[in-house]
Structure 1
Amino acid sequence: MTARLSVRAQLTLAYGALMLVVEAILLAVVYILMTYVPSYRITAVDGPLPTWEPARTVPLDARPAAGIVVESKADVLASLLWSFGVGLALVTGLGLFVCWVVAGRVLSPLARITAAAHTATTGTLHERIALSGRDDELKRLADTFDGMLARLEREFGAHQRFAANAAHELRTPLAVTRTMLQVALAHPEDHDFRVLGPKLLATNERSIATTEALLVLAGAEHARVRTESVDLAALAGEVLGQVAAEAAQREVAVLHRLPATWVAGDPELLRQLLVNLVHNAVRHNHAGGQVAVGVVPGHSGGATLTVSNSGPVVPQDELAYLFEPFYRRQGRSAVGRDQGRAPGGRGTGGPGHAVGHGLGLTIARAIAEAHDGRISVVAHHAGGLSVTVTL
């Protein structure tokens, strides 16, 4: 099997061959011109030499054998071919050496990129090429590779945190259930099933809610969006109708501006996005607060959905974490102490509020990205948030 030449050797041979072809063409052109253009008048001088030199006669057989005697047009062309041949060999050899050096310098960034890629395959994603110099194709390639490594590092870290948080969220209610059952079995006379049953049922419902949220998140991240024309305003109106009773119970006023707005998307996923955002806005509010839902048609199709709510003040440095899975501002806690926390990560702190699994905004972001949209959040100085989804 023939060994494959390196890129450096291939470039060197390619440049050398190109240079050799150019030199050969130059030799042919010069030879043709020297053959047909000049008029040669060459005569052999056997008589006395010029008066400024001593007169002497040099026999033809006494001339050096190694010299070149030019006595005719054929001699001129032969000497021309000989000189060009020697020069061609020397220049080609020097050119190949220069091409080898230049190719090595040009391709040296590729060696650094290859080394960084090899390091990344071992799981080390923090290494960067950081190629300096002028902004050429290789530097742009290195910068793109650095950006890809940075994104991979962030995604890998996020998946590690997600796996750890998911394991904790699923383990906590199971551990609580086991503890309740162990205590009840150890002291059955001290426990009434009418008291223990609802506690076990609530813990079980928490596990089911978290599992269902994880399934929704996985479906939103990896689903193929079924595209059809959807009236986003009509969907928002349906969702507002579903949360009207809960909003009234919490004494939260709901305002809306919903002109007919048609977008291309999956109606079920868009409904889930609206449910998560509106429920967050209602549950992360306070008595006497308000929620505002607005839809604005886009100039070139699409739409902008905005869900704003009053509520507790959210520091600016925490906004980036609101989309993290299972993130809660008051921290994760056991089932018995996790009342008052709703999907999306912000605890309400009030009694009787829904238990949250911390995946609401994460699911909303996944749905928006599945529709080639984007989602952003802004904190109000007086408290509360505004979540904007552009589709």
Structure 2
Amino acid sequence: MRERAPGLSIRLKLTLSYAAFVVIVGIAVFVVGFLVLRFVPDGNLYSESGTFTPGRGDLIDVFVRYAWYAVLALAVIGLGGGWVVSGLMLRPLHRITDAARAVRGGDLAHRVDLPGRRDELTELADTFDAMLARVELTLDEQQRFAANASHELRTPHATMRTLLEVARADPDGIDLERLLHRLDLTNERAIRLTEALLALARSTRAGELSREPVDVDAVIAAVADEARPDADAARLDLAVLPGTGGIARVDETLMRQAVANLVRNALVHNIHGGWARVAVTGRDDEVVVDVDNSGEVLSRELVATLPEPFVRGAGRTRGRADGTGLGLAIVASIARAHGGHLELWPGEAGGLRARLRLPR
């Protein structure tokens, strides 16, 4: 952190500003009064009754003397009043500073919680609280993600090491073809998991997105054509319903991956002889992609956790070997990076209903 030279406090600067403003106003009044006195005749005047009337010189002498007294009094009042008023005005700022120091010390749960009606300081405090809440949530997600990622990556590596140790212990009795097959499957799983982790990391960097107009209907059709062989092999009915998605300004690669993940999730977590439906709808301010599928009955509590990394339909970090548990997490991150969001809810007769909302 950069070291700064000591300087005047904001309270002192405001106090001096208030005092200077009051003194300037007093001097302005003094100047106006002095200009008015120019219209008084010069010399002493006497009325017919002999009453003395002061002239311009007498009035100027008295006016200047008391005007300086008034300016000095205004300076003192400006300094004292400015110090008190600036202290009252800066009290919420001290509260925000104390909260920032607490957060710097590691207390991310601390909040400013500034009371009062809306103004510049309460908006700053509310924005700071919202930022802290976002940072705390992000750090919790990253810690949970790191723990789960290390567990998921350790599993295939430990499996490969065990297979190699067994083969090294009994080289004559090992089935080489079966060993190579299992090593190939385990290695492929580790590669898919690593690629999914990289995709998830890229999808969270919204500032690096290459946004361009994309025909959503064409992307949906291409993804469905690529997934149709897998659907036929699993005896699943995959259909793309007619719709008018229109054009969305998104990163085409990430959007294609998000749709592909939704379709793959619908095919993998399904039942024998089931179905999957993909539909896209264009609205005034957004493009909506719906992916519904049949399957087992899911609870709302479980569905709410599915966008978290490494959560599968069968439970956390458990499930089918061909899934990484990152598919829906990647979709949710891609949606957030584009200013949209992912909605999930269980189907009435089972299965999952997913809705991806992207801005026009």
Letter in 2 for 1:284: H
Percent of paired sites with the same residue: 39
Q: What is the match of residue 277 of structure 1?
A: 262
2:24 matches 1:21: yes
1:158 equivalent in alignment to 2:141? yes
2:277 to 264, 275, 292: 292
1:318 maps to which of 302, 322, 339:
302
Structure 2: gaps (5+ residues): none
In 1, are the aligned partners of 2:42 and 2:56 still within 8 Å (CA)? no
1:31 aligns with 2:14: no
The answer to whether the aligner puts 1:221 opposite 2:204 as a matched pair is yes
- Quote the residue 2:65 is aligned against: 82
Aligned CA RMSD, in angstroms, stands at 2.9
Contact 1:8 1:107 in 2 (8 A): yes
- Conserved 8 A contact 1:43-1:72: no
Report the counterpart of residue 100 of structure 2 in structure 1.
117
When normalised by structure 2's length, the TM-score is 0.87
Aligned with 1:180: secondary structure? helix
Q: Structure 1 residue 246 and structure 2 residue 230: aligned? A: yes
The Cα of 1:70 is off from its aligned counterpart by 8.6
- 2:215 aligns with 231
> Where does residue 268 of structure 1 map in the other structure?
253
What is the aligned partner in structure 2 of residue 56 from structure 1? Answer: none
Confirm or deny that 1:172 pairs with 2:175.
Answer: no
What's the counterpart of residue 145 of structure 1?
128
Q: 1:34 Cα deviation (Å)? A: 4.1
Q: By how many angstroms is 1:86 displaced?
A: 1.6
- Is 2:312 the counterpart of 1:328? yes
Deviation at 1:332, TM superposition (A): 4.6
- The one-letter code of the counterpart of 2:219 is L
Q: Which residue of 2 aligns with 1:208?
A: 191
Q: How big is each residue's C-alpha offset from its partner over 1:121-163, in whole Å with a ceiling of 9 and x where there is no partner?
A: 3333211111112221101101101100110111111111111
Residue in 1 that maps onto 2:292: 308
- Tell me how far 1:212 sits from its aligned partner: 1.3
- Cα deviation for residue 299 of structure 1 reads 2.9
Give the unaligned 5+ runs of structure 1.
48-68, 342-353
1:118-133 alignment, distance < 5 Å: 118-133=101-116
Identify the match of residue 344 of structure 2 among 351, 370, 377: 377
Q: TM-score, normalised by structure 1?
A: 0.80
Q: Distance in 1 between matches of 2:243 and 2:251?
A: 20
Q: Which 4+ residue blocks in structure 1 deviate beyond 4 angstroms?
A: 37-44, 69-73
Structure 1 distance, partners of 2:114, 2:61, is 53
Aligned residues: 351
The residue matched to 1:133 in structure 2 has which SS? Answer: coil
